[in-house]
Structure 1
């Protein structure tokens, strides 16, 4: 018994010593301020994974000071974003956005989370805004970096609001108010058989119970299908094309005040073909499709207009003449925007095979074209039709939806 007591005493002393050693040499908890700095250096995809490590990490990664710091750093490291619509799902890929790349170089796109929606997806996405993307013709907003998505409330319309309740279409636009730091969604519903736009609704994302509310209009206009694809938000103003009477106009929707105004387009714009809107040094630009349907050929030049004076409806025309070699370089591409460093970017049309995906940079100072092939897409079944869209200056946003 004495031996048993001695062994127990020795064991107790050993355990006490081990416990003291653990207390002395255990790793101290990392301060939250240091965690925020460390997490701001990783990718948005990693942040989404780290939220699942512990409740404490999840709370730190949802703090507003962290999401603002991460967003600020993301703006300094812009990326190319690619969305692929395949079998009713959206696949997101991204790659670092090169500056003055070498010609015929390549980039490997890495996958983000795949967004699997409750129902089969038939729409692609609009241009991302502050890291978020809105689906075309679907009330769904998704975050490519984290894989999260938010389905907006259904748009409920009264019978009296519609000329034919069974035949109406919806268009959604995502806007951002940089002053109030609020995302808003503009919804427009119209009948395919009526010449008037029926209703305009707005929803604020940050509200606890997001509800659609009507926006009053002093003028009636109809969405212009040739420019609707390229609606864009710049400095708190949403721009999209519309028909006002017999004229084609640019509609401006101020996200903060929720007021509409109109800008006339020049008659020389020849708005008889599809157009794309893009951000040209903080101003709205309109790029005309090079395909001339009357002559059944592609023109050997790119033409675009920039809104220089919105108050006086003044546009400035830009023309980029192409040599036969340059024309071959940008074959089957369209302008997708201008980078923050002043390079005009062309990308493959969305309906072309993924293996054809490439991005072409035009340096306006040196007047040179540079092609970059995009690799790394892992979507299988090559015979199944897929649609890929390319976006520039994408900055990851990890704000919790």
Structure 2
């Protein structure tokens, strides 16, 4: 008896099984679409469509797991960055994403956030890292027996729906800070963890590193010759993790630079104004360089930015951008806004969550324009803290979190 024809259709790609031959015979026969062409076509799809294509046959499943396909997909995904959203609700951590508008103007259409995945969440407090090569690190505290608490670290890939709890950090310290970094040369994702020596000081007591995608995850101790306090923030730019800190021996204010590939540390001594901007402001990626940005809720129409031009000298440049008078007030009014980050096209992005629908505000420093773009799809997260991350890319490499 002939089976009914089965069709899978995603993003204008249709794969059809035209007969009911045995599975092993179909696998050994010549594919209807050449492998190279299959890889090229599927690399242009969205992650959800790739997941559907992997279910077509064993051949397609193995083809779409090849490292060549994963790299090609990621390269093309970098050209279509997204905004990643996440919030906690009813014991779940929910992830959404929407296309990231490129050079939006007053005629830009509203964007819609699509649901990705949800993760069981029983934590008391939570932090979410920046999106690094399509992955994020959730760090939260949960209660354990005898009135104690423990810190849990989970790596999530919203594109594939995977999550991976990391092994506990072996330490005698009272607090652990973890940051996600990417080495673009060896194409490796690593997690750097630092421990707080004891509860009466913020002195950093040890450094450990973990490499993702190695099957057997384990922390390795690494040496840092720079005694410094535990950082509160970091950013990864071109394979280097930057974070502000104070030298515990000399008292110097500095920016610590951790090279993800060599797993080595160095420091940049900075003056007080630069350190304050790093400590109290935001660390941003500005044209592939470290930028420091201080945001004042009483925005007066001008943005000031410090950029690390040369880490060896070191040399900083200061940029001031002045917008037309009253433009911010006309677009945003007195609504509370939150700074999100800077896009690859140097647009400063802010998030307005109290409006319905929610809004994303883009300040283009080159054109001196401010545009508000409506956002739909996050209505269920109303009155909740929404984590917003720019330049998120889809990463369909399933081997990273196995």
Question: In structure 2, what is the equivalent of residue 263 of structure 1?
Answer: 268
1:6-40 CA distance string (max 9 Å, x none):
xxxxxxxxxxxxxxx999xx997333323222221
Change (3 A) 1:118 1:376: closer
Alpha-carbon distance between aligned partners in 1 of 2:121 and 2:59, rounded to the nearest angstrom? 31
Identify the match of residue 79 of structure 2 among 76, 82, 87.
Answer: 76
Q: Are the aligned partners of 1:173 and 1:186 in contact in 2 as well (CA < 8 Å)?
A: yes
Question: In structure 2, what is the equivalent of residue 238 of structure 1?
Answer: 241
Name the SS for the 1:153 alignment partner. Answer: coil
Alpha-carbon distance between aligned partners in 2 of 1:327 and 1:201, rounded to the nearest angstrom? 47
Alpha-carbon distance between aligned partners in 2 of 1:104 and 1:136, rounded to the nearest angstrom? 39
Q: Residues 162-173 of structure 1: matches in 2 within 5 Å?
A: 162=173, 168-173=174-179
Name the SS for the 1:256 alignment partner. Answer: coil
Identify the match of residue 332 of structure 1 among 314, 324, 336.
Answer: 336
Alpha-carbon distance between aligned partners in 1 of 2:265 and 2:20, rounded to the nearest angstrom? 66
TM-score in terms of structure 2 length: 0.80
Question: In structure 2, what is the equivalent of residue 148 of structure 1?
Answer: 162
Q: Are the aligned partners of 1:91 and 1:111 in contact in 2 as well (CA < 8 Å)?
A: no
Question: In structure 2, what is the equivalent of residue 58 of structure 1?
Answer: 61
Q: Which moved more, 1:77-86 or 1:26-35?
A: 26-35
Question: In structure 2, what is the equivalent of residue 205 of structure 1?
Answer: 212
Change (3 A) 1:264 1:94: same
Change (3 A) 1:376 1:367: same
Alpha-carbon distance between aligned partners in 2 of 1:145 and 1:298, rounded to the nearest angstrom? 36
Q: Which has the larger radius of gyration?
A: 1
Alpha-carbon distance between aligned partners in 1 of 2:342 and 2:183, rounded to the nearest angstrom? 22
Name the SS for the 2:128 alignment partner. Answer: coil
Question: In structure 2, what is the equivalent of residue 10 of structure 1?
Answer: none
Identify the match of residue 398 of structure 1 among 378, 396, 399.
Answer: 396
Q: Are the aligned partners of 2:84 and 2:97 in contact in 1 as well (CA < 8 Å)?
A: yes
1:256-314 CA distance string (max 9 Å, x none):
111111112332347177321111000011111314xxxxx555533221111111222
Q: How many residues are paired up?
A: 356
Q: Are the aligned partners of 2:224 and 2:265 in contact in 1 as well (CA < 8 Å)?
A: yes
**Superposed displacement of residue 320, structure 1:** 3.0
Q: Are the aligned partners of 2:194 and 2:208 in contact in 1 as well (CA < 8 Å)?
A: yes
- Determine whether 1:29 maps to 2:34: no
Q: Which runs of 5 or more residues in structure 2 are unaligned? A: 1-18, 141-151
Alpha-carbon distance between aligned partners in 2 of 1:134 and 1:123, rounded to the nearest angstrom? 10
Q: Which moved more, 1:148-157 or 1:265-274?
A: 265-274
Alpha-carbon distance between aligned partners in 1 of 2:275 and 2:222, rounded to the nearest angstrom? 31
- Determine whether 1:249 maps to 2:250: no
Q: Are the aligned partners of 2:208 and 2:220 in contact in 1 as well (CA < 8 Å)?
A: yes
Name the SS for the 1:348 alignment partner. Answer: strand
Question: In structure 2, what is the equivalent of residue 14 of structure 1?
Answer: none
Change (3 A) 1:40 1:233: same
Name the SS for the 1:209 alignment partner. Answer: coil
Q: Which moved more, 1:362-371 or 1:57-66?
A: 362-371
Identify the match of residue 195 of structure 2 among 174, 189, 201.
Answer: 189
Change (3 A) 1:354 1:65: farther
Q: Are the aligned partners of 2:84 and 2:96 in contact in 1 as well (CA < 8 Å)?
A: yes
Question: In structure 2, what is the equivalent of residue 42 of structure 1?
Answer: 45
TM-score in terms of structure 1 length: 0.80
Q: Are the aligned partners of 1:203 and 1:212 in contact in 2 as well (CA < 8 Å)?
A: yes
Please provide the CA RMSD for this pair: 2.7
Question: In structure 1, what is the equivalent of residue 320 of structure 2?
Answer: 319
Q: Are the aligned partners of 1:112 and 1:146 in contact in 2 as well (CA < 8 Å)?
A: no
Change (3 A) 1:39 1:71: same
Question: In structure 1, what is the equivalent of residue 306 of structure 2?
Answer: 305
Change (3 A) 1:279 1:212: same
Change (3 A) 1:86 1:284: farther
Question: In structure 1, what is the equivalent of residue 180 of structure 2?
Answer: 174
Identify the match of residue 289 of structure 2 among 283, 291, 306.
Answer: 283
**Superposed displacement of residue 387, structure 1:** 1.4
Alpha-carbon distance between aligned partners in 2 of 1:376 and 1:253, rounded to the nearest angstrom? 38
**Superposed displacement of residue 53, structure 1:** 4.0
Name the SS for the 2:372 alignment partner. Answer: strand
